[in-house]
Amino acid sequence: MDPLTVGQYDLVHNAFSFAIAGMGAATAFFFLSRSQVAPAYRTAITLTGLVTLIAMYHYLLIFGSWEASFLVSGGVVKASGVAFNDAYRYVDWLLTVPLLLVELILVMRLSRAETAARATKLGVLAALMVLLGYPGEISADASTRWLWWSLAMIPFLIIVYDLFIGLKASIDSQPPQVRGLVNSARWMTVISWCFYPVVFIFPMIGLTGGTALTAVQVGYTVSDIVAKAMFGVLIYMIASRKSETDLLSAGDLAAVR
Amino acid sequence: MDPLTVGQYDLVHNAFSFAIAGMGAATAFFFLSRSQVAPAYRTAITLTGLVTLIAMYHYLLIFGSWEASFLVSGGVVKASGVAFNDAYRYVDWLLTVPLLLVELILVMRLSRAETAARATKLGVLAALMVLLGYPGEISADASTRWLWWSLAMIPFLIIVYDLFIGLKASIDSQPPQVRGLVNSARWMTVISWCFYPVVFIFPMIGLTGGTALTAVQVGYTVSDIVAKAMFGVLIYMIASRKSETDLLSAGDLAAVR
């Protein structure tokens, strides 16, 4: 295991604790607030809360694994001999990444046929992307890592293309009050996701040691908070604003009470 | 680690336990009571509960770290060699201080544009204030501490100015029954917040040893309870009273039932 300074160890430790608190608070927010949106959008908010709940669970495990991997004493960090288990991230992504895309599709409230088709396509591609990344992540061999990275990039690029080109007509059909928010959600997905394949190649381009380990862990954590909790707040805002719009047009104020 | 008497060790230990109980009870109160205010104020009460939930989580970690840092035996307190991790407070503040300001803005029910503008401005300034304080807090060098303290005081003073001058017109637009309560919430924020920069400079003005450590920990804990749980009760009272006022003017008593 690479040597770390106490400052680096503490920074990663505190970033994981921040993720547990942030994901937990976000889950409570989504579960409590789902009753405040119209029934048509509640499933989207429920899934948003499931994503942060699953992430909180995995950050608890990652936090525990970090604690178990190092011994900190007298201002020095030593490897304990227990390997830090980063694979929890892949288990997390396999569950949460398809759900994140389904959340975005559901809050757009497309026709039933289009919802089913897009949710299935993006969900399957997302799962495939995570599964193809894993054999590379657990390999120390650079050419093996590049192979699986390249394979995982295929579904990644199809998803990005689909979010930008495929969803264009659907986004233009959204009420004008939420078009900007839906657009932000789409951009937030793409920008926060771009961090993951970049972090993946750090060890292949010569980055090693405690600084690289710290950068990777803090980077993944910040990306997860943006892609799951902050993205979820955007989904909630879209659902909330669309509920008002639907109500005004339906004249049905009772629905959100 | 500074030597502590058993009395000092127990006082801090009990203060942390008091904070866990107080924050936990406050969270249950806010989550259960949010259905008793009109829908327009429920997000403010949800955020109030999230603040105390996040604080309870961090006091559990701080309590555990305190326990791990000292060995108490035969009427003597000895350092265990494990450093007391006070940085959980900064992680906590980074999440809760922006939320506290947003809950005050939300309960005032300003126009959508003013809510978004004020919540963004105060939220960003609050996060900046906490981030600028952190490098000073973890430094033992007095001049480094003064530098970061001074930098953190810039957003602090802008927030205080904004609460007093910027929000004046908005407060005057509140219904007369709640104007006094909104004013109290504003004062409670400013007074409880002033404690933090004062505690920060204790080690820079010669306070050391167990007495200083005890004063800092008990002081931060009392401030947190005032600024989060008691402030939250004021927010709930404002939301509750405004719900009644809105209903009377709308003649719609069914909404909160």
Q: Is residue A201 situated within a structural domain?
A: yes
- Report pLDDT for B131: 92
- Report pLDDT for A181: 86
Q: Which of A220, A199, A197, A207 is nearest to A66 (CA)?
A: A220
Q: Is the pLDDT of residue B250 over 70?
A: no
CA distances from B3 to A245, B9, B11, B78, B133 (A): 63, 10, 14, 7, 26
Query: What's the DSSP call for residue A73?
Result: E
pLDDT-derived band of residue B33, with 50, 70 and 90 as boundaries? very high
Whether residue A135 contacts residue A152, with contact meaning beta carbons closer than 8 Å, is answered with: no
Check CB contact of A251 with chain B, cutoff 8 Å. no
CB-based contact B91 A21, cutoff 8 Å: yes
Least CB–CB distance from B53: residue in A28, A74, A256: A28
CB-based contact B95 A25, cutoff 8 Å: yes
CB-based contact A17 B255, cutoff 8 Å: no
- Report pLDDT for B135: 87
In angstroms, the separation between the Cα of residue B64 and the nearest Cα of chain A is 14
Residue A236 with chain B: CB contacts under 8 Å: none
B:2-41 residues touching chain A, CB 8 A cutoff:
31, 34, 39
Q: Is the pLDDT of residue A1 over 50?
A: no
For chain B, percent of residues with pLDDT exceeding 70: 95
How many Å apart are CA A225 and CA A215, to the nearest integer?
A: 15
Least CB–CB distance from A21: residue in B82, B95, B254: B95
Measured between CA atoms, the residue of chain B closest to residue A236 is B43
- Report pLDDT for B254: 52
CB-based contact B34 A29, cutoff 8 Å: no
Residue A29 with chain B: CB contacts under 8 Å: 46-47, 50
Q: Is the pLDDT of residue B253 over 60?
A: no
Q: Is residue A140 situated within a structural domain?
A: yes
pLDDT-derived band of residue A117, with 50, 70 and 90 as boundaries? very high
Distance from the first to the final alpha carbon of chain A: 55
Between these two residues, B169 and B248, which has the higher pLDDT value?
B169
| CA-CA-CA-CA dihedral for A14, A15, A21, A22, to nearest 10 | 150
Q: Is residue B244 situated within a structural domain?
A: yes
Q: Is the pLDDT of residue B9 over 90?
A: yes
Q: Is residue A214 situated within a structural domain?
A: yes
| B180: Cα separation from own chain's centroid | 21
Residue A22 with chain B: CB contacts under 8 Å: 95
Q: Is residue B208 situated within a structural domain?
A: yes
Q: Identify from A10, A13, A17 which residue to disrupt to test chain B contact, counting B C-beta atoms within 10 A and taking the largest count.
A: A17
For residue range A59-79, list pLDDT tens digits in order. 999 999 999 999 887 778 888
Q: Which two tokens stand for residue A176?
A: 């004008």
Q: Identify from A9, A13, A29, A181 which residue to disrupt to test chain B contact, counting B C-beta atoms within 10 A and taking the largest count.
A: A29
For residue range A227-239, list pLDDT tens digits in order. 999 999 999 999 9
ipTM: 0.86
pLDDT, averaged across chain B? 88
For residue range A12-47, list pLDDT tens digits in order. 999 999 999 999 999 999 999 999 999 999 999 999
pLDDT-derived band of residue A94, with 50, 70 and 90 as boundaries? very high
| Number of domains within chain B | 1
Q: Which of A39, A85, A52 is nearest to A226 (CA)?
A: A52
Q: Identify from B43, B58, B92 which residue to disrupt to test chain A contact, counting A C-beta atoms within 10 A and taking the largest count.
A: B43
| pTM over cut 0.90 | no
pLDDT, averaged across chain A? 88
* Residues B225-230, mean pLDDT to the nearest whole number: 94
Measured between CA atoms, the residue of chain A closest to residue B254 is A257
Q: Identify from B37, B54, B256 which residue to disrupt to test chain A contact, counting A C-beta atoms within 10 A and taking the largest count.
A: B54
Task: Check which CATH number belongs to the domain holding B157 and give it.
Answer: 1.20.1070.10
Q: Is the pLDDT of residue B231 over 80?
A: yes
- Report pLDDT for B1: 47
- Report pLDDT for A257: 47
- Report pLDDT for B128: 95
Least CB–CB distance from B91: residue in A18, A73, A256: A18
For residue range B57-113, list pLDDT tens digits in order. 999 999 999 999 999 988 899 888 888 887 899 999 999 999 999 999 999 888 888
Q: Is residue A1 situated within a structural domain?
A: no
Q: Is the pLDDT of residue A2 over 80?
A: no
Q: Kind of pairing, strands A70-73 and A76-79?
A: antiparallel
pLDDT-derived band of residue B257, with 50, 70 and 90 as boundaries? very low
Q: Which two tokens stand for residue B32?
A: 């259960």
Which residue range is the domain that position B205 belongs to? 6-256
Q: Is residue A151 situated within a structural domain?
A: yes
Residue B249: count other Cβ atoms within 10 Å of its Cβ. 9
Check CB contact of A73 with chain B, cutoff 8 Å. yes
CB-based contact A21 B92, cutoff 8 Å: yes
| B30: Cα separation from own chain's centroid | 15
Q: B134 CB contacts (<8 Å, ≥6 apart)?
A: B87, B90, B148
Q: Is the pLDDT of residue B140 over 70?
A: yes
Q: Is residue B1 situated within a structural domain?
A: no
Q: Is the pLDDT of residue B251 over 80?
A: no
Question: Identity (one letter) of the amino acid at B5?
Answer: T
